[in-house]
Amino acid sequence: MKKATKTAAEISERLNLPVGVTRITLAGTRQALIEGHRGLAGYTPERVTVRAMLGEVCIDGEALTLSAMDADALLISGRILSVTL
């Protein structure tokens, strides 16, 4: 496990990317990819609250579903109306 973390840190350093940052990528109003999360704080079809490195990210919308989730990233699908940090 330490080797994977060290490799990620080395890659981030070489690419001049910050380490330990939560990144949110929106694909229009239909999908949100959140990388570097710390788990779910809440989940309903109208709101998904994700623990981030420096607080929480709230995604409000309609028919929201958790399409995929692993230790580093999660994918939320549905009609996204707002993202609040």
pTM above 0.85, yes or no: no
**Tokens for 19?**
């380490």
**Tokens for 38?**
């710390």
Under CATH, which number does the domain 20-84 receive?
2.60.40.2000
6: confidence class by pLDDT, cuts 50, 70, 90: low
Where are the domains positioned within the chain?
Answer: 20-84
pLDDT digits (tens, 9 = 90+) for 27-72: 999 999 999 899 999 999 999 999 998 899 999 999 999 999 998 8
Contact 50, 41 (CB under 8 A): yes
